[in-house]
Structure formats: structure tokens, C-alpha cells
Amino acid sequence: MTAAGAATTALAPVLTGCGADTPGGDTRLKLVAADYGDKEANSSRKYWEGLVREFQKQHSKIKVDVEVYSWTEVDKRVADMVAKGKAPDLAQIGAYADFAAAGKLYSADQMLSIPTQADIIASLAKAGEVHRVQYGIPFVSSTRLLFFNKKLFAKAGIAKAPENWDEIQSAAKKLHAIGVKIPFGLPLGPEEAPAETMMWMLSAGGGYTDQNGSYLIDSPENVKAFTWLRDEMVGQGLTGPGNPARTNRQEVFDAFCKGEVGMLNGHPTLMQQAQAGHIEFDMAPLPGIKGPSKSTMGVADWIMAFKKNGHRDEIGTFLDFIFSKDNVLSFTTQYKLLPVTTSAADAMEESRANSDLWQFLKPLRQAAELYPVSKTSWASVSKTVKEKIGAAVQKGGDPAAVLGEIQREANATELADRSDR
């Protein structure tokens, strides 16, 4: 999943040049970027066009051509370019680890100025490391909070947002009693199963990996989380009539925006969708077993630079410009995402206009945990989670067995990746 967490429509790509150096000695960079809009009117193409215009006013010898593709195709586009020996200079996509492991990327310290490197939020910079060297540069980020429908809560006599698992179940039962279709939305379908899974793992004190970065998917904490979901939520009819294993995140978001969902875990873009649906909602930290979860899930999208064309200095100049405070704020505020630099995060916290993002920003800087994206095996493990985790919460499902199977496949994939290296 992307930081925006939204499936975008397939907009036509923007092709603005060939990416080769010009005869007059100017350097021409090629950037391939993902589109965070869902229609032409809010395509992020417009952001890049404006950014490039401003950049070239200051750096006339560096030309930048941009291609923008929807999230459904951008990763594959870049992979195909690389496979054909035509890697772009820069790619702003969802994952970097495979390219880094193959030795195709510049490291961050080879490109970024020291002030820019120092400004990137430390936890995000660390998540961009492969073998303790940073190759992935976070572009935007987001975290997750518990969303709840204020009108439905008031009607059901629920005085405050749940802070622990028992309170989640109690609130869900009250919502169910007044006829709410989906007391708690639990999307474990393919669209966002890895994210929903990670949130429940973290709420139990677990996670995908241990402190050393080794997979620990079948830990007692993780088994406890999915056993509780199976017995105390799904088994009690508190997650709605649909099968969580086949329920996608956007389906639950759409239902929330129609007033059919009492509560669910959501990311910042849900705010805009709920407001458009005229839903009165509020947000709270994700509940844990005995109190608010000690950590929440963070997601980052990445920008990376390929060595292929040898434009290291020019790439660094452009990246320093991209990560200036004002440019970071311009993009993140437009798409209701979180900044990845300390200077932009500080500015966002000081701006009343962005107060709706403050609750999301706090955990990003304090306790957010990201997917293990530095592992080249993660893409395969994530796919396995999508395919299998829903079975853990179904009637008769065995969470320990399901998580154990995912763990074994993760170990095998990790071992194979190490052998390839």
C-alpha cells in the first residue's frame, strides 16, 4: 500500500522529453513518479510541472522531464525500464530494496547535501536502509488512527473512543444492538491486508519482525491478536455481514462514508472522503490490549536515484530542491499526507490550517513502525499475507497455523534472497 492508501484511476502518463543530455551541454534528468490524484483535476502531474518550472529558474543547465503514472502501473513501468537498460534518473514509487540490492542505486549520502540528510525524520531515513546504507529516500508518509462515527456512537450510548480491546468489543456490541451494519470494519482482503494485519500485531505488542529485523510473524503476541479477532469480533458478528478475508479497505471506507460503519482503522485520506459524505467523525489512537497501542503503523513512499546515466551531482541538486520545507509542505497538504522532514513537520504543527493532520503526525515522530521494506523478501511476504491472513479469523480458522505457514514461507523467501546475494 502507498502512503495515501488510495487506489488511483489510470491517468494518461505525462511525457515531457527523452531524458538524454542536450547538445548544448545541459543535463537532462528523467523522473518517473506516481500519481496521488484520482482524476485529471487533482493529478500530481500539476505539482511536478510547477516544481520543475521553479527549479529550472534557479538551475537553467539542468532540465527535468517527468512521466507520471497511476499507482496501479508505476512500479511495473520502472521495473520494465530498468530491465531494458533504460533506467530513469529518479523514480518516485513504492519500493526500493530490489534495486538497491542489485547495486543499481546511488546511496543517499552520495546525492543529498548534509542539511537535507539531517532534516529527514530519523525513523523514516532508517527504514530506507539496506545493510545499514540508505538508498530509499522517503517522499511522503502517513500513519493510522481509529476513526469512529460520532452520531452512531451517541445513538448507541458510547461516551468515548475505545482505548483497549475490551472497549472495542463493548462499543461494537452496542453498535450492533442498534442495527449498525458494520460495527467494526475489518478489511483483511487483498487490498490492504498487510496493513490491517500489522496494526493488530502492533496492538498486541507484536509485529512482522523482531528488533534484529528477523521475521517473527507467528509470535505469541501475533497469534493472540488474531485469536481474539476470530473469537471476540468476527465470531460475535461484530465485523459486519461480509467475510473479512474478501473485504477490501476501500469497501469499508465507502461504507463508513455512507454511515454504515461504526469504527475502523484509517489513514489521513479517509478524512476527506468522510467529509465529502457529510459524516461526523472523530479519531483516536489505535487501541491496544490494555490501553492505547504503544506504537502505530507508518507507511512511506520512496524516491530513489539510479546510477545508470551518471547524473549524481545534478540529481542531488534536484533532490535538495524537492526536499525544501515549502515544497514538502505543498505536496503533503494538498494530498493530506505527512511530511518526511523535520522542518516541514514543525511547520505543519504550527499551522492551524493543518490541524486535522496533527493527530497523525505525532505518532510518526514518536512511535510509528513501518513495513520491513528494506528486505527484498518483503514483496513476496506481503503477497502471502494478502492471500492467507483472512483464513485466521474465519469460523474454524487456526490463527497459529495460518501465521506459522506465513512464517515458514517468509523464512524460505528470506533464505533464497540471501543465497542469491
Is 90 exceeded by the pLDDT of residue 296? no
pLDDT band at 363 (very low <50, low <70, confident <90, very high): confident
pLDDT at res. 9: 43
Residue 102 has pLDDT above 80, yes or no: yes
Integer Cα distance of 248 and 126 in angstroms: 30
The average pLDDT across 116-137 equals 94
pLDDT tens-digit series, residues 376-404: 899 899 999 999 999 999 999 999 999 99
Strands 261-266 and 182-184: parallel
Q: What number is the average pLDDT over the span 111-120? A: 97
CA distance 37 to 43: 4
Over the stretch 153-210, which tens digit does the pLDDT of each residue have?
999 999 999 999 999 999 999 999 999 999 999 999 988 899 999 999 999 999 999 9
High-pLDDT (> 70) share of the chain, %:
93
Of the pLDDT bands very low, low, confident and very high (cuts 50, 70, 90), residue 24 is: low
**Which pTM value belongs to this model?**
0.87
Segment 141-158, tens digit of pLDDT: 999 999 999 999 999 999
Mean pLDDT on 37-49: 87
| Confidence (pLDDT) at 25 | 67
